[in-house]
Structure 1
Amino acid sequence: MTNVEVSLKTLLTEVEGALGAAVVDYTSGMALGTLGGGKELDLNVAAAGNTDVIRAKMRTMETLGLKAEIEDILITLGTQYHLIRPVSGRTGNGLFIYLVIDKGRSNLAMARHHLKRVEEQLEV
């Protein structure tokens, strides 16, 4: 099991083209930790905004009566992929990992694989 800081460092070093990552509490919208980003990618603002995305999807699934859990949510921009992965397990309830990768330098399938592995090992 790994903590938030180690998990974020793992994502930024192992995912080619990673631009930033955060672990976020979607009940409050607050980031528990961020790494990367910069003036053009404010991860705290992104954390709060993506909280709305995950809440909306969960409400929609509930309204539709869908019992499956969200594996991840992908948002495709012109030059970036934004991945949102809810943390499963008893220690991660109410959390998600947010990862931003460069579309031209990254392999989306590998990024999702790394994100899943980090999510499974995260302990808060």
Structure 2
Amino acid sequence: MATQDQLNALIADIANDINGFIGASVVDVESGLPLASHSVRPDFDLDVASAYNSEMVKNKRKTIDALRLEATLEDMLLTLDTQLHLIKMIEGDTFIYLAADRQATNLALLRSAVNRHVAALNA
């Protein structure tokens, strides 16, 4: 498992790399608690988002099991009319959750930046 400093650096690097960055957190799936988080908007509650997103990850895993798929969850994308939200599994039972302004970035740039930084963390 990555250290607290590494998780904080991961979020800072992603924030610096993505235009329209709103917020991000590294989340423990089982507890729903953020292990590290940062938002540029004080009204964007990453504790609440982390908890609800952990429930989505758990439910998607249940769906995969119910369908007897031989598959592993890699990421999930939620598109809102004004924002893009990405959930990327990191290692074991942790994921990074990221929200960005849809007008300032696009899905390809968002996924590329997150994948690059997560790969560097796992290297």
- Secondary structure of the corresponding residue to residue 3 of structure 1: helix
Matched pairs, number: 119
Partner residue, 1:84: 87
Point out where structure 2 has 5 or more consecutive residues left out of the alignment. none
Partner residue, 2:9: 6
Partner residue, 2:68: 65
| Percent identity of paired positions between Structure 1 and Structure 2 | 34
Partner residue, 1:20: 23
Cα offset for 1:60? 0.2
Paired residues of 2:22 and 2:40 also in contact (CA < 8 A): yes
Say what the alpha-carbon RMSD is for the aligned residues. Answer: 1.6
- Secondary structure of the corresponding residue to residue 13 of structure 1: helix
- Secondary structure of the corresponding residue to residue 65 of structure 1: coil
Q: What whole-Å deviation, never above 9, does each CA across 1:92-116 have from its counterpart, x for those lacking one?
A: 2100000001000112101101111
Partner residue, 2:105: 106
TM-score normalised to structure 1 length: 0.89
Distance 2:21 2:72 in 1: 25
Cα offset for 1:37? 4.5
Distance 1:3 1:66 in 2: 33
Distance 2:105 2:27 in 1: 23
Q: What whole-Å deviation, never above 9, does each CA across 1:42-86 have from its counterpart, x for those lacking one?
A: 011100010010000000001111122222101111200110011
TM-score normalised to structure 2 length: 0.90
The higher-RCO structure (CA 8 Å, 6+ apart) is 1
Point out where structure 1 has 5 or more consecutive residues left out of the alignment. none
